[in-house]
Each structure stands twice: as structure tokens, then as C-alpha cells.
Homo-oligomer: A and B are copies of this chain.
Amino acid sequence: MSHTSGVRQAQKEKTRRALMDAALRLLEDQSLSSLGLREVTRAVGVAPAAFYRHFRDLSDLGVALVEECLSSLHHMIGAILAGQDGDEERIEATVDAVAEHVRRYPAHIRFIARERHGGVRPVRQAIAAELDRFADEVATAFCPQLPAESWPPEDVRMLAELYVDHMVMTATAFLEAQADHTEAADERRVAATARKQLLLISLGRHHWHDA
């Protein structure tokens, strides 16, 4: 315990957290490439130069945010994949979990949606790498349920990517439904559409061997 956890380390970690939280909040209304270093430190209440004790620059902070935002999503996916119910139950549980996740961490989802194709390369790459890992996990989880003769690995992968992309798509739709209007009906419409789309994909999956 020579250089971890003392009062000093704890204070430093606290400031780092404050910087990330402030950045995430500011990023609800703008994109990372227009976010200012001074804007972040001002929100936290530290001197601009203090920033450099924690991050090399804003894109470095962005990469740290990617890890945070996607790890919370990752837990959610793990929980869904662990459930071993039937098709419709799984769909229901998935859409509910995504809706709940978006309600709880709207800033996380907004950040990912915005920066997935945003103007900062290292951040884009970090997001792409993580989503790729998600697809791996979904593929691994689905593999034992699919008849091996009609589902070669690349087809399983194709299905997994469709699921991951659909999840991101749905999360983003929930976000817009919650933000743009005050109508709760929008959220229900998004949920209904997402469930139907997942059902349609399920149907296609069950008849994949026909093709």
C-alpha cells in the first residue's frame, strides 16, 4: 500500500470523478469536439491547469468516459443474456431493461450515440472496440441455442451485430422520446416498435435454415 489509497489518492480520485461528471453533464448539450477544457474545470471549480494532473487532453477524458458509459451498458447486456426464458419473455425483458437504463443513465447513452460517429477519432475507436466486444458476447451467448448445421460462425456473428446495433438504435430512440417531448406516449410507442422489431428478427432467426 505504498502509493494507493491514502488521503491524497482519495482527493485526486474525487477531483477526477468531478471532472468526468461535469464533462458528461456538459456533453448533454454539445459534442466532445466543441467542449472546452476551461468549461469543464470551471464547472468543477478548479483551476484550468489542474486538468492536466488527470488527463492529457479532452480526448483522453473522452476515452475514459467511453469506458464508464459502456461498462454500465455491458452489465445490462450481461443480465439480459443470463436470463434463459422464451423468446417473447426475453424480448420483453430486453426492451424493459433498455428503457430503464436510458431513464437511469440518459447522459451515458447520449454520449455514446453522439460520439460513436463524432469528430474525435480515439473516442470513436474506443466505442467501436467496445461494441465489437458486445457483439462477441452476444454471439457466444446465442451460439448454443442455434442449430450448428444452419448457423456457421459468420451467420451467428451477423445476427449478434444486428442485435447490438438494434439495441443502440432503440436506446437512442428512447432518449429522443424522453427528451424532445413531454409525452410519455412516445416512450411507449418506441417500446412497442422495438418489441415488434425484435419479434420479427426472432421469426427470421427461426426460419434461417429455410434460406
Q: Which residues of A are at the interface with B, using a C-beta cutoff of 8 A?
A: 29-31, 33-34, 110, 113-114, 116-119, 128, 154-155, 157-159, 161-162, 165, 169, 172, 176, 192-193, 196-197, 199-208, 210-211
Contacts and interface: CB of A to CB of B under 8 A. Distances in A.
Contacts of A201: 200-201, 204
Residues of A contacting B: mostly: helix
Contact of A165 (B33, B154, B169): B169
Q: How many copies are assembled?
A: 2
Contacts of A206: 207
6 contacts: A117-B172, A200-B204, A200-B205, A201-B204, A203-B204, A204-B204
The interface centre, meaning the residue of A114, A157, A210 with most chain B CB atoms within 10 A of its CB, is A114
Contacts of A155: 196
Contacts of A172: 117
